[in-house]
Amino acid sequence: MTSAKLRLLIADDDDGDRRHLRRLIRGCGLLCEIDEALDLAEAEAACEARAYDCAIIDYRMPGGNGLKGIVAIRERHPLLPIVMVTGQGDELIASEAIKLGAADYVPKSQLSEGYIAHVIKSALRKAELERIVTDQREELERFGHVLAHDLKTPIHQIRYLVEFIERDLEEGNREQLRTNRDRLLATARRMEDLINTLQSYSMTEKPIEVSVISLDGAVEGCLSNLASEISARGATVSCDPLPLVRGNLSLLTQLFQNLVGNGLKYCGSASPEVLISAQSDGPEVTVSVSDNGIGVPPPEMQRIFQPFQRLHRQAEIEGTGLGLAICRKIVERHGGRIWCEARPSGGSIFRFTLNAA
């Protein structure tokens, strides 16, 4: 968390205090890039112009006290950790600052290299936890939407189909009875698929065991699981020799299955063609899964990795909107990153990084 260069903002109208804070931060071993503001207006403007990892704000400044600054900055940047420093050791001020969202409150008389390092690291940890809680809250809201909509729809359809089947039984209409029975079974399967996908998505939160594995083995498992779909679509799936990586075989098999499965599903009228390759670069391996499908518009290339996000023009294709979100979670659990690019000849290239063996 603190090995990368941090961007800090010091807001204090006293030149000597700002220099003192700079010296302490430089001397405490944190790699930092520091900006300064002389009043609250400058501090707010700086936060609008640049993303900071932490802001250190004095209690007394022109334009209002630091409590006002906490409120103003937190309104626009709710996840920015703010540390209030002051020449007064007032517990009431400290309590009010924490209530308003400050990560910490520090009297200037207590500042030292070790203490400022502890305060900044603590503020960063609190901010990270707050981000996690915010993400989980948003995710729960999205899950609530799915449970309220995507599950409610097939339940309603099942209820109506049961009513139709009862009518068919009363009328002795065996042909329509078989048709409605097949519709009922298909609806139940879609509902089961959705529940299984939701379960898979939640399972990716659990700790994973990693070892040196063969990516070729993960691809073989993927192709075995997708054999019927590949055959039905007349698809061609090619794979270059792949290196060894550190990872979890089961999760990486699922990762390839989701990406190759997308290449089969979103291919339009063309015969699906999927190519899997990899390139080693020191401690990192970049894996590419390219397809000749309908492609992804550039503005959507980040959004598609969010849970329950589906492209509007793909609305006629069945899916939960969780496949790529699961891919992102699997890759992130392995310490990598995943992104999408346009394939020059049409289609998409999904790339992700893993740790080399």
Is residue 224 domain-shared with residue 350, that is, in the same domain?
Answer: yes
Tens-digit pLDDT profile for residues 144-173: 666 666 677 778 888 888 998 999 898 888
Predicted local confidence at residue 192, as pLDDT: 79
Does this model's pTM top 0.75?
no
Tens-digit pLDDT profile for residues 248-283: 998 899 899 999 998 998 887 678 999 999 999 889
Residue 77 has pLDDT above 70, yes or no: yes
What is 229-246 written as a DSSP string?
HHHHHT-EEEE----EEE
| Contact between 351 and 287 (Cβ < 8 Å) | yes
Predicted local confidence at residue 207, as pLDDT: 66
Predicted local confidence at residue 314, as pLDDT: 46
Comparing 188 with 140, the larger pLDDT belongs to 188
Q: How many Å apart are CA 3 and CA 70, to the nearest integer?
A: 27
Predicted local confidence at residue 2, as pLDDT: 46
Give residue for tokens 């995943």. Answer: 338
Give residue for tokens 């339940």. Answer: 155
Tens-digit pLDDT profile for residues 232-248: 889 999 999 999 999 99
Predicted local confidence at residue 155, as pLDDT: 83
| Burial readout 34-72 (b: 16 or more C-beta within 10 A, e: otherwise) | bbbbbbbebbbebbeeeebbbbbbbbebeeebbbebbeb
> Domain holding 262: CATH number?
3.30.565.10
Is residue 123 domain-shared with residue 251, that is, in the same domain?
Answer: no
Q: Is residue 138 part of a domain?
A: no
3-state per-residue secondary structure call for 166-220: HHHHHHCCHHHHHHHHHHHHHHHHHHHHHHHHHHHHHHCCCCCCCEEEEHHHHHH
Predicted local confidence at residue 129, as pLDDT: 86
| Contact between 99 and 71 (Cβ < 8 Å) | no
Could you give the 3-state DSSP secondary structure of residue 111?
A: coil
Is residue 302 domain-shared with residue 319, that is, in the same domain?
Answer: yes
Tens-digit pLDDT profile for residues 165-224: 999 898 888 899 999 898 888 888 877 776 776 676 666 556 678 899 999 999 999 999
Predicted local confidence at residue 204, as pLDDT: 56
Q: Percentage helix, strand, coil, to 5, in the chain?
A: 55, 20, 30
Is residue 13 domain-shared with residue 63, that is, in the same domain?
Answer: yes
Count of domains in the chain? 3
Comparing 143 with 280, the larger pLDDT belongs to 280
Is residue 105 domain-shared with residue 19, that is, in the same domain?
Answer: yes
Q: Which of 203-217, 303-317, 343-357 has the lowest mean pLDDT?
A: 303-317
> Domain holding 21: CATH number?
3.40.50.2300
Is residue 229 domain-shared with residue 119, that is, in the same domain?
Answer: no
Is residue 187 domain-shared with residue 282, that is, in the same domain?
Answer: no
Predicted local confidence at residue 143, as pLDDT: 66
- Domain that residue 348 falls in: 211-356
Q: Is residue 161 part of a domain?
A: yes
